[in-house]
Amino acid sequence: MRRLTHGSKLVVASHNPGKVWEINQLLAPYGLNAISAGDLNLSEPEETETTFAGNARLKALAAAEGSGLPSLADDSGLEVDCLDGAPGIYSARWAGPGKDFGIAMKKVADEISVRNGWGPPHPKANFISVLCLAWPDGETQIFEGKVFGHLVWPARGGNGFGYDPMFVADGESKTFGEMEPAEKYAISHRTRAFAVFQAAMLDHLKCDNAGDGSTDARDLAAFSAAAASLSTRVEVASFVERLKADLEAKESQWANTTLADYLDALAARLNDAPATDEPAWRQLAKAMLAASQNGR
């Protein structure tokens, strides 16, 4: 079996900032130089397959062929038992063209109300992640992970992304949206799929976790991923709390630390922002992050 080597360049075949950031956190300790398909300006192929594995393979092959590098793609989603597995491979499409998962979660909740009701018991569901590693010559390998649990409504929490605020994993009391990132990643579907990928492709590489948590630098990649993925008022409130904590801990790394300077920079970012169909909350979060990094 062909394997990756230390220092290999690997394309993460996704334009979803939250997903790219999450996969990069898993890859970094193995010395892999990961870059996203978005950073390479690779177009996203239309997801025409009928399975998660088929769509993951399609995306990975498109990125591998377009970049000339090995590429890792993920296709993941929410499967609800009483909805016959929906939204399934259409999980992202239920969020509409603006990828507003507030809309998607409400649609899931409404469908459950009509077809099943909210119990008790709570409607059972699972998240699934299928990873595909593709090489430029067309060789592919598939790795799968699932996490089982139930759904709650109204949604709870502002962390994570997608359907996280309405999903409670078996044995847990908090939704993925209420968990801190480390709690979620310890049990997530993507982490479980990555464990299978790791055993097959990375176990021969030295895993260096020495730097985990030791840096005093702002984790701007994590903030950017969060800002680009949120959809609801509650998620923005959580994002603001995280920005506040970041300011208290790392004030010297902020460009604007007085209220007047920060609001000036925020107004400038909002005035300069291009027109977009993104949810307004997401646009605001991006502007708030930018105002912490740059002066007017």
Residues assigned a catalytic role: 75
163 among annotated binding-site residues: yes
- The DSSP line for 92-151 is TGGGTTTT-HHHHHHHHHHHHHHHT-S-SSPPEEEEEEEEEEE-TTS-EEEEEEEEEEEE
183 among annotated binding-site residues: no
7 among annotated binding-site residues: no
- Asked if residue 158 lies in contact with residue 230, where contact means CB atoms within 8 angstroms, the answer is yes
189 among annotated binding-site residues: yes
- In this structure, the number of other CB atoms found within 10 A of the CB of residue 57 comes to 21
167 among annotated binding-site residues: no
17 among annotated binding-site residues: yes
Strands, sheet with 33-36, edge to edge from the N-terminal-most edge strand = 33-36, 9-12, 71-80, 124-134, 140-151, 167-169
164 among annotated binding-site residues: yes
31 among annotated binding-site residues: no
Q: How far is residue 185's CA from residue 199's CA, in Å, rounded to a whole number?
A: 17
15 among annotated binding-site residues: yes
102 among annotated binding-site residues: no
184 among annotated binding-site residues: yes
280 Cβ contact partners less than 8 Å away, ≥ 6 residues apart? none
75 among annotated binding-site residues: yes
Using alpha carbons, select from 100, 80, 237, 202 the residue that is nearest to residue 152. Answer: 80
162 among annotated binding-site residues: yes
18 among annotated binding-site residues: yes
Q: How far is residue 165's CA from residue 157's CA, in Å, rounded to a whole number?
A: 5
Annotated binding site for Mg(2+): 46, 75
Annotated binding site for substrate: 14-19, 76, 161-164, 184, 189-190
Annotated binding site: 14-19, 46, 75-76, 161-164, 184, 189-190
